[in-house]
Every structure is written in structure tokens, then in C-alpha cells.
Structure 1
């Protein structure tokens, strides 16, 4: 099958051809026809398989076809794409602009970490396709900069991650402002049973597309584990980089402080590194990502939240300096490599504290991961495991919190106005300290 078989208009096919593509990926081939039919859709596929084009292409087709001969109020957006992070919002809007370059549709990306002025100007000038993070979109809605009453298509990109990150109340507030008659699309690499049940209440007879087994990792990635003591992880990482001459490595740390400390340690060892996490300004995050893409830095140390939106076709190595607390996050992490048909390598540095987490990951993937020990870094059998204090809560803890949190039962009811800070922006709700969540909300 080629893109010409999907019924896309000539302007879109021209833009696709300019990017060097002629054959849709499996998720695109299955999802695009369903979206063009106007169906609600839940689509699951491995990271790096073209999910973004799977919804941007048909949205461009539908909106441009409906636009002809119509006189619409340009102030009202017609499609809303919600993403969990700033980086992913930028990436999605780049896709919209790339494939819609020969159309007259307007788009804008709305996210936190930058001033609201340019975003306000773009919104008031009129935008057909709005890509946004939930918190910043609510800021604009409260200031009457955005009008969602004309939304025809809603997309939740990385839907499971948005809901799991605590955006559920924000998403419900936004959905309450949308027309009841709309097309709803959920795209993600993974869907938990809880998320599927929640989505079922938001959609009308949704079609389902599962290109790969749920929570599966691409077969193009080679997995391995180095067993090491917790205090020697940094030295082992430096040794591995020097031994293999790796030149572009995405390293995952569990916390923002840990990411900063590791990047600083690697820099002192002569390995140019940068940290990427929610406490960085948007400008700093963008510079770190661009320097990494251009090989100006060898190692990018990121937290799970900040790494969403990192899209590098031929990223060779992903290293888990610390394993994630939730096994599904392992799939998201290693999905940064092995993309676009290229091979990749996923390496995890595992200490005694993380053996249970490793077993959970192997159980999820239904496979055993090769264990290695580098000479000189043999684990000390006398060291006892310690509790992992920081990092993301377990799925069970998050579920228990949602059940006990009265705010989760007030969605759709009138809310008191949020307190506003000196800048005029809504003050984010207080969050527990620890891990990637304290003060790191992607508004």
C-alpha cells in the first residue's frame, strides 16, 4: 500500500513526498482510513512507528475538505491535540506544519515554560489546529484567549501518560468545554486496562487498532543489564562509554536532582553532557535537545516526563541509569531507540535495590533480559537492598491516591477560581515532593 491508496488529497501527498515517504507504516495504514470515516479511535502502537502522522494526516484531510466553501470564525479552533509535555507539543505541531504546508490551515502550539504573549496573539489571530499541554491551555481559557466551542476533533496523544501523570482533572475540565458532537482519538504506545475503561466513557463506539502486542518493545532493540552496586553506577557508566566509544546516548535518571548530578559528573569525566527535566526553562530544554541531536553533547540525561517528544530516527543507545518504578515506563524509555527501521541498544544499570523492578519489567515483556557483569565492577554480595524513596509512584499507589482524593470525584462540577500568582497565571496545585512530580507539571 502507498499513501496514494489512502484517499489523501494532492497537497498532503505532495508534502509527504517531499519528506521522502511513499509507504505508510502499519499504524498509519490502519488508523488513517478509520479517522477519515469519522470514527472514534483508540490506537496503540510501539513508539517510533509513526503514530503522529497517523492522526495529523487525516485531521489535515478532514479539516481542509470541510473548510472549502465555508465561512468560519477564525477565532475558534477546530481540532485540539493534547500532549503531556512541551517537547511533544512542539514535535506534533512540527508534523502538522510539515504535512500541511500546502494547505491554508493554521496551527499553534501552546505550552508552559514560555511567555503567554505570543501564544495569545496566535490564538486570537485564529488557529484551525491547536496543539497544547493541558495546564497551559486552561490558563488561556481562563483568560478568554481560547475558544473550544468549535472543536470538531479531539486527540489525546500519549493518552495513558497524560492520565497517569495527574492530568485527569485538567482533561475532564477541557472536555467539559468541548462540543458533545466531536470525533475523539486516543493514540499511545501503551494502554492500561484502567485507561481503556476511562476512555470508553469518553468515546462513541470507538474502533480499536493494536499494531503490536500491548506493552511490547520493538524487536529492533537489543536489551541487556549490567549488575552493579548502587554507589558504582556512575563509574560504570563512564567506563562503558569510554570502552565502546559511544557518541550519542540518552540516559534515564529517576529524579531531576539525579539527572543534574549525573550530567555534572559525566562532564567532569570529560564526557560532554546535558540534563533535561521539568525544572529547566523551555529555552534550556530546547537547547539541550538541539545540542544532543547535533552531537554537540554526547550524553543527554533525562527524566521520564521530559523525555517525551524526543524523536531521533537513529538514536543508537538508551541507558537506564535507574530503572523506572513502573514497568510500562521501560517500554516508553527504550522506545526512543530502534526507530524508523534501525537497530538500537537498551542497557540498564541495575543494583540490588532494583531487582524486583527488573523482574516486573521481564514479566511485562514476557522475556528474560541478558545479565552481565563488567570486570572490576562485580556487585558486593554483602550489600543489602534499600527502599527506593524517590521517583514515580507505583501504579497501585497512584490508583489508591485517585480513589482517596476528593478532587478526582468533582470533575464536571463547578470549581472555585484558582488562585493566581503575581504573574497572573494560575497557581499549579500543590504536589507531594519527591521524584519528577514536585513542581514539574508541564503547563
Structure 2
């Protein structure tokens, strides 16, 4: 079964990449994410979680740049993963106007603030780097629509966990989607915070 009801730009890119059919995880998760509910998405490695994250982010933002404030946050464990995911996003956004920004901890925070204020639709960051931007009023969250966490097991570490909770307290309204290989105990704690009414998809 081919991918259905996705933006034409996405379907065209999938055709170029020769991705012809969704995985079992994608068949269930993509429609649920498109519905706008908060979700815990758990499935094994190589089941298509990263591609799902990319496709649903592009779908949510309609494959086009709007304004200057970020509309999607993506949190990852470390700089290496952030850069890897950034490069994957560029594969999908090369022929549309979406602006993807990699929050690089090696750059001075003032440089990052300046870059983001010029306009960014998608920010890819670690919790620590994003927290630093928040402390310096470097991110406008008023237009935020989607907040995704990639391979969320790393949140079992105290520092990323605390940073994430502090950041989410500053966000009034958006969709949260957490991806992981399984429902780790630390993830269940978020149900009493920003994931209170979240649904769970497990393949």
C-alpha cells in the first residue's frame, strides 16, 4: 500500500528516494500523528521511526516556510545525532522552502539567536542547547505546532530530563510526539506533565 494523504511534495520525494510503501509502524503512526493528538510511539530499531518523524513534521508544516518563528522542535540525545538528523531533513526539504536549523552547541549562543531570528521553521537540538537558548530569550515559541523527541531513552539521564521539563513549561500549546524503542519508565513520568492525555502506539 503506498503512502496516502500526504503533501504532494512529500510523495514526490518518496518516489525519488524509492520509498514505495510504509512500514507496519508507519501505517499506524502517521495517521495518528496527523490527527494532532499527543503520542508515545514505540517500535523496534529499523521500523521507520526516524522517517516517520521527518514525514509528519513536513506534513504538519505543509512543506513551506511561514514567518520567522519556529513551528517544530526536535530533540535528540547529542550533537552527532542532531547533525545526522539535520542532514536527513535536508534530503527531504531540498525542493521546498522549509528552513531547518541545527542548534550547534559549538556555536556561540548569540550567533544561534541571530540565525534563528532571521527565520527557521524546524529546530533540531539537544535539550541542553535549547535550554541555553531559552535562558537568553533566543527562541520564540508562539508559533510552535509540533514538538518531537527522537529515540527518547536518553531522557533517563537527569540533566536532559530536567532541561526538557523546564522547556516544556514555557510552551502553552502544541502537539508532542515521543519516539522510542520501548516504553521506558522515565517516559511514563511525562504523563503527569505535558503528556497527560497522550495516546500510545506500540508495534
Common fold, TM-score beyond 0.5? yes
Gaps of 5+ in 1: 212-443
- Tell me if 1:35 matches 2:33: yes
Q: Does the CA contact (< 8 Å) of 2:109 and 2:132 recur in 1?
A: no
Q: CA RMSD in A?
A: 2.1
**Whole-angstrom CA distance in 1 between matches of 2:111 and 2:11:** 31
Aligned residues: 202
- 2:190 maps to which residue? 199
**Whole-angstrom CA distance in 2 between matches of 1:77 and 1:159:** 21
Q: CA deviation at 1:32?
A: 0.7
Alignment of 1:210-249 (within 5 A): 210-211=202-203
- Structure 1 residues 165, 53: closer, same or farther in 2, change over 3 A? farther
Q: Deviations over 1:23-73 (max 9, x none)?
A: 1122222111111111211111112222111122012112117x69xxx54
- 1:127 maps to which residue? 120
**Whole-angstrom CA distance in 2 between matches of 1:15 and 1:118:** 32
SS at match of 1:209: strand
- Tell me if 1:88 matches 2:88: no
- 1:216 maps to which residue? none
**Whole-angstrom CA distance in 1 between matches of 2:125 and 2:143:** 16
Q: Which has the higher contact order (CA 8 A, sep 6+)?
A: 2
Q: Which has the larger radius of gyration?
A: 1
Alignment of 1:294-443 (within 5 A): none
SS at match of 1:64: coil
Q: Structure 2 length normalisation: TM-score? A: 0.89
Gaps of 5+ in 2: none
**Whole-angstrom CA distance in 1 between matches of 2:140 and 2:121:** 11
Q: Does the CA contact (< 8 Å) of 1:34 and 1:207 recur in 2?
A: no
- 2:141 maps to which residue? 148
**Whole-angstrom CA distance in 1 between matches of 2:84 and 2:21:** 21
**Whole-angstrom CA distance in 1 between matches of 2:201 and 2:131:** 30
- Tell me if 1:59 matches 2:57: yes
Q: Does the CA contact (< 8 Å) of 1:12 and 1:102 recur in 2?
A: no
